[in-house]
Structure 1
Amino acid sequence: MKKSIKRALGQGLATVLVVAGLGAFGGPASATVPPPPPPPPAPIFGTAGSDYTGVGNPPTADKPQSKLWWNDGAWWADMWTSGGWKIHKLDRAAKKWVDTGVGVDNRANTSADTLWDGTYLYIAHHVVTISTEDGPKASRPDSPARLYRYSYADGKYTRSSGFPTTITTNSSESMTIDKDSTGAIWATWTQVSGVQTGGYASKVMVNNSSEGGKSWGTPQSLTGVDATVAPDDISSLVAFGKNKIGVMWSDHVTGSVWWASRTDGQSPTSWKVQSAVRGPNQADDHLNIKSLQADTTGRVFAAVKTSFDMNSTAKKSDPQLQLLVFKPATGAFDKFTISTIGDCHTRPQIVLDPENNKIHAFQSGPATTVSGCPYSGTSGAIYQKTASMDDPVFAAGRGTPVIQDSTPSVNNVTTSKQPVTSKSGMVVLASDDDDKRYWFADFGIEGDGDDGGEYVPPAVSPFADVVTTQQFYKEICWLFENEISTGWTENGTRTYRALEPVNRDAMAAFMYRLAGEPAYTPPAVSPFTDVPPGTAYYKEINWLAAQEISTGWDEGNGIRTFRPLSPVNRDAMAAFMYRLAGEPSFTPPVASPFTDVLPGTAFYKEITWLAAQGISEGWTEEDGSKTYRALQPVNRDAMAAFMYRFNEKLDFI
C-alpha cells in the first residue's frame, strides 16, 4: 500500500502579482475617476452537466447525504430532470451524465440519500422542510419519506415489487440510510414540532425496516425529553464495525455533537449515547459520516462544522471544519482540523480511499478569485484536501479547487458512501443554484501497484498556460494534485510556466515535498554563505544538505555555496534523484546508453541508473542514437515527468 503523505499547500514558488492603482494629484476638480476594471473571469474547474430547473431545493444537497454510487464499472447518480428524479449513468468518455429513463420519485420538493449494497440499490426520498435559527419550521405531516429499491442486471435497474415503502409520514431537513448486518435498513432524521407562538422543539428520530426494506416499524426518538435539540439541527447514520449502527447529530443547545451506537440484533432501543465533541461553539448542522466495513478496527470518520465563526473573539486559525475519528477499541473520538475559519469552508463531505490509506475531504468555499473570507459559508467553488487515514493531519489553506464555474456560485458537493479504488476513480457532484446547473469532477485514484491503477489527469487543466494536449500534461497535473508544485497565481489565474528551467532552490522544495515533508528543524547558522536564514526555501535547502542529496560547492577558504537561483542541469538532477532514492545498489553499464555520456563522465552512474529505471529516456537523434544532454537545464515540464516516473518506480507517494 502506498504511503499517505502530508503536504503543504502552495509550492512556495508562487509570485502573486498585485496591481496597485495610482492616485492622481493636482488634476481638475471635475475630473471623473474611471471605474475599476472588471475582475478577471474565474478559471473553470470540473465539467458542466445538465440543468435542473423545476426542483425545489439544490439537488445535490443535503450535507449528510450521498447521491452517487459505483457499480458494474460505472458511476451512477440520482438526478433531477424535467420529468422527476431519475437514475443517471456517467459516460466518462463523453464527460456527461446520461438519463437511463429509470424513474425514482416525481416530487420536486424532495431530497435523496442512496445506498448500493452489491445486490440492491436503495434510494430514500424525503420531503424537505428546512429550519434555521432565525426561521424555524415544523415538520409537515402527510409528507411521506419513501424507500425505493432496485435490482440490477444486464446494465439496467429495475424497481423491486412492493416498493416504495414508507419510512415516516413527516417531512425533515435531511435523512440518511444504511443497512445493518441482518439486512435491515435504518434511517435517521430530525423532526421539528411546535408553533411560532409557543416555540419549536426538535428530536432526533430513527426507524428500521424488516430485511431488505420491505416494511418499517414505528419511528422512535433518540434524544428524549431532556435532550431535545434545536430546530435547525440534523442527524446522520452509518453502519460500522461489521455489526453495528451509529447515529450522529448536532446539538446547538449544548454546543455538542452526539453519537449513539448499537449492536445489530439487539433491541431497537438499546442505544449507547455519548458526546463526540462537546463545548461552546463545537456544533453546527453540517455532518458527513463514512466507515469501512473491511476495517477490522471499526473506525468511523465524520466531518463536522463548528460555530466558532459566530464568536466575536474567534481567530482565523480556529477550526471551522473538523474530522472526528471514532475508535471502538477506546470508545472515544479523536479530533483533527480540516479547515480553519480563515479558509471560509462549509458543507463538508468525505471519501475514504483505503487502497492509498487516504481520506479525501471536499467542501464549499469562496471562488479562487476571492481572497479572504467574505462571510462563513460563501459558495463559489468546491475544494479538495487529503490526509492519511491513520494520521489525518490536513495541510493548511483552502486546498485544491476541483469544481468552479465562470460565475462562480457552485455549492453542495455530494459523493458516494462507498470507498473509492484505483478502478473506480472518484467522482463528486455539485450544483450551481443560480444557473440551475449540475457540475461534476472525475478523478483518477492512484493504485497500489497490484491492480494496474494509473493516475487519470483532469479533463480541465488547473493551469491557464497548460493545455490538455500538451506534452507531460498528465505529469504536470499529478505534480499539482499532490501539491509538489502549485505554480503561480497571476491576475486571478494559475500558471505553471512549463518551459522555464527549474532553479536549485525550487528543486530542493520539490524533493522535500516528494519525500513527504519529513520533520526537520533547519540550523540557526546556514552551511551556505549564499543561503542565509530567511532565504526562500531555507528549510528545504538545508534539509537537502543534511540528507547529503546536495552539498553545494566548496569555493575555498572555508566558503560553501548552494547557488539557489542557478538552474538545475540534467546531470545534477540525476544525482539528486539517485541520492533521494537512498543510493540503491547499482552497477553502471560498461557501454553507455547515451552517446554523449561516456564512462568516466561526471555522474555517469547516476545518469545510467536513471535510464535503467525508465525515469529518463533521453532524446532519439536523427541517426537513431540516444543522447542525454547532461549539461542542459531541466525545464519545469520535464521535471514533472521525472518526478512522476520516480514515484511510479519507487512508490514514494
Structure 2
Amino acid sequence: MWFNDGLWWGNLWDTSSSDFHIFRFNAASSSWVDTGVATDTRANTHHDVLWDGTTLYVASYRFVNDGVPAEPGFPTTMRRYSYSSSTKTYSLLAQSPTNINNYRVEALTIDKDSTGRVWATWQQGNRIYLNATGTDGKTWGTPFPHPASLSNVSVDDTSAVIAFGPGKMGLMWSRQVGGSTDGMYWSYRADSVGGAPNTGWSTPVAAVSGQRSADDHMNLKWLDSSGDRVFAAVKTSFTSAPQPLIQLLALNGTTWSAHPIAPVSECPNRVIVLIDESTQRLRTFATYPKPSGTTNAGVCTSSGGAIYEKSSPLDNINFTTAKTARIVDADQYVHNVTSTKQNLNSAARGTANSGLLLLADVNATSRYWHSYDPSGGGGGDTTAPTVTGTSPTDGATGVAVTANVTGSFSEAMDASTVTSSTFTL
C-alpha cells in the first residue's frame, strides 16, 4: 500500500478479472474501489510497491514456499506508473515491465537511491543477491551476489533494502547457518560511490548475532529527518518463553541496539514497523493469538490469529506488554499484516494527515481485512515526562555560583514549553 494525493492506495487481487489491480481506498465508506489498472496478470505472485512522489514502482515475483530453493525460469518484473492528480488515475509507463531476475523466490524488496537507481534484493542459491537499474530507474543490470563472505546464507534466509542517510542504500539479511555467526547483518553503499553496483559495499556488521538470534522476517523503516536512524522489526528463532520472539533493531549512526517487542510466550509473528512522525512513535503490528470470545481464542499457531499493535516513543524505545487489537475476525485467523513503506503523518514526505491504514488477509475465506484510523491513533503520548536528573543535585554544597544549572528529562521536550512560567529555579 501507499499514500498519495491525500488518498490511500493498494495493490490488491481482483477476483472478477483474476489480475492484480490498483485499488483506491474510500475512507468515507471504508471500502476499496477498483481503478481497473492491472499490475500483474499472474496468480501466485507476491509484490513490493514503492511510491517516490512521482512514479509508482511495482515489483512482482513468483513465490516459493519458506525453505524451498529459488527456482529459475520465472521472471521477476518491475512495472512503472505515472499519476494524474486531475483524474486520480495511474498509467503504465513505456518500457514496462522490465525483468529484475529470472527466479521464483521467497521474498524480494525494492527501494530507490538518491541518484535515481532502483535496487532489489533476494536470496538465491544460498547467497544474498542484488540488482540495480541505471539512474533512469528502469534499465536493470545483471544480478550479483553481495561481495561479502557473510552473505553466504541458508535456503531459509531473506533480505531487504532501504534507502537512508540520505545518500545511502542499506541492505539487511538474515543468516541461519547454525553457528556463532548467525544473526541479522547490515551493509550499505554510498550513492556517491558510483561505478558498478557490486562495488563499494561496506563490510557487514551484525545488528544482532548468536545462535537463534535470526529468522527470515524483517521490515525496515528510515526516520527521514534523522540521518542514519534506521529501524528494523525482526523475528528471532528463540524458543524459551521469556526470550524475545520479535524485536526492534535500531541503528543510530553506526551502532545497532536491540529492543524486545514481544517474548516467545506471547506467540507473535509477521511483524512490521511504521514510524508515526506526528506522535513521534514507533508503531509495530504483528499477528498474536486471538482474543477471548472468538473461535480458537488464545491458540498459538503459525496459521494466524488477530492483528495487534505495540508502540513505543521514538526517543526512548520501550515496548510494554500492553497491546491494542487492530484487526479481528471472530471466526477465522487473520494474518500477514501490511501497510506503506512511507512514514505516517509526515508533511515533508507527502503523507500529512495520512492517518493509519493496515491490510491483512484471512486465508480460509480468501478475503482482505483492513483497519483505518484517520487520526493515526497509537494512543498518542499520554505519559507526562519526568525529571531524571539535575545538576547540581539537591543539597549539593561547594558549587560555584557560575556553574550552569541543568535538568534532564525522560523524553525529548518541546523547548517552547520550558519557560519562566513553567520552570522554577
Distance in 1, matches of 2:222 and 2:233, equals: 12
Q: 1:93 is matched with which residue?
A: 28
Q: Contact 2:183/2:210 (CA < 8 Å) preserved in 1? A: yes
- Cα distance, 1:355–1:514 mapped onto 2, change above 3 Å: closer
Task: State which of 296, 299, 307 in structure 1 corresponds to 2:237.
Answer: 307
Distance in 1, matches of 2:5 and 2:168, equals: 27
Q: Contact 1:350/1:360 (CA < 8 Å) preserved in 2? A: yes
Distance in 2, matches of 1:203 and 1:389, equals: 34
Task: State which of 360, 383, 406 in structure 2 corresponds to 1:430.
Answer: 360
1:351 correspondence with 2:274: yes
Q: 1:146 is matched with which residue?
A: 77
Correspondence 1:519-538 to 2 at 5 A:
none
1:126 correspondence with 2:61: yes
Q: 2:282 corresponds to which letter in structure 1?
A: I
Correspondence 1:539-558 to 2 at 5 A:
none
Tell me by how many angstroms 1:91 deviates: 0.5
Task: State which of 290, 294, 309 in structure 1 corresponds to 2:225.
Answer: 294
Tell me by how many angstroms 1:518 deviates: 5.4
Distance in 2, matches of 1:126 and 1:382, equals: 26
1:208 correspondence with 2:139: no
Q: 2:5 is matched with which residue?
A: 72
- Cα distance, 1:224–1:482 mapped onto 2, change above 3 Å: closer
Where relative contact order (Cα < 8 A, 6+ residues apart) is larger, the structure is 1
Task: State which of 133, 142, 146 in structure 2 corresponds to 1:218.
Answer: 142
- Describe the superposition over 1:437-476 as per-residue Cα deviations: whole angstroms up to 9, x where unpaired: 0000001336xxxxxxxx7xxxxxxxxxxxxxxxxxxxxx
- Describe the superposition over 1:358-412 as per-residue Cα deviations: whole angstroms up to 9, x where unpaired: 1110001110128996446451100011111111101114x11100112130000
1:110 correspondence with 2:45: yes
Q: 1:392 is matched with which residue?
A: 317
- Cα distance, 1:234–1:373 mapped onto 2, change above 3 Å: farther
Q: 1:298 corresponds to which letter in structure 2?
A: D
1:280 correspondence with 2:211: yes
Tell me by how many angstroms 1:142 deviates: 1.6
- Cα distance, 1:518–1:395 mapped onto 2, change above 3 Å: farther
Q: 2:117 corresponds to which letter in structure 1?
A: A
- Describe the superposition over 1:486-529 as per-residue Cα deviations: whole angstroms up to 9, x where unpaired: xxxxxxxxxxxxxxxxxxxxxxxxxxx94448599xxxxxxxxx
Q: 1:259 is matched with which residue?
A: 186
Q: 1:107 corresponds to which letter in structure 2?
A: R
Q: 1:203 corresponds to which letter in structure 2?
A: R
Tell me by how many angstroms 1:434 deviates: 0.7
Q: 1:181 corresponds to which letter in structure 2?
A: S
Distance in 2, matches of 1:440 and 1:210, equals: 36
Distance in 1, matches of 2:224 and 2:264, equals: 33
1:159 correspondence with 2:92: yes
Distance in 1, matches of 2:147 and 2:216, equals: 16
Q: Contact 2:304/2:335 (CA < 8 Å) preserved in 1? A: yes
Q: Contact 1:165/1:213 (CA < 8 Å) preserved in 2? A: no
Secondary structure of the corresponding residue to residue 234 of structure 2: strand
Distance in 2, matches of 1:238 and 1:346, equals: 22
Secondary structure of the corresponding residue to residue 210 of structure 1: coil
1:324 correspondence with 2:249: yes
Secondary structure of the corresponding residue to residue 393 of structure 1: coil
Q: Contact 2:291/2:297 (CA < 8 Å) preserved in 1? A: no
Q: Contact 2:273/2:282 (CA < 8 Å) preserved in 1? A: yes
Tell me by how many angstroms 1:109 deviates: 1.8
Q: Contact 1:342/1:372 (CA < 8 Å) preserved in 2? A: no
RMSD: 2.4
- Describe the superposition over 1:200-254 as per-residue Cα deviations: whole angstroms up to 9, x where unpaired: xx11101100124321111111165664211111101100001000110111113
Name the structure with the higher strand share.
2
Q: Contact 1:346/1:376 (CA < 8 Å) preserved in 2? A: no
Q: Contact 1:129/1:171 (CA < 8 Å) preserved in 2? A: yes
Percent identity of equivalent pairs? 36
Q: Contact 1:139/1:170 (CA < 8 Å) preserved in 2? A: yes
Secondary structure of the corresponding residue to residue 80 of structure 1: strand
Q: 2:379 corresponds to which letter in structure 1?
A: N
Tell me by how many angstroms 1:416 deviates: 0.4
Kindly tell me the number of residue pairs found equivalent between the two proteins.
Answer: 373
Distance in 2, matches of 1:244 and 1:322, equals: 24
Tell me by how many angstroms 1:175 deviates: 0.6
Q: 2:200 is matched with which residue?
A: 270
Distance in 2, matches of 1:225 and 1:292, equals: 30
- Cα distance, 1:437–1:223 mapped onto 2, change above 3 Å: farther
Distance in 2, matches of 1:223 and 1:387, equals: 36
1:237 correspondence with 2:161: yes
Extract unaligned runs of 5+ from structure 1.
1-67, 193-201, 447-454, 456-480, 484-512, 521-580, 586-653
Q: Contact 2:128/2:151 (CA < 8 Å) preserved in 1? A: no
Name the structure with the higher helix share.
1
Correspondence 1:596-615 to 2 at 5 A:
none
Q: Contact 2:290/2:298 (CA < 8 Å) preserved in 1? A: no
Q: Contact 1:124/1:146 (CA < 8 Å) preserved in 2? A: yes
Tell me by how many angstroms 1:351 deviates: 0.6
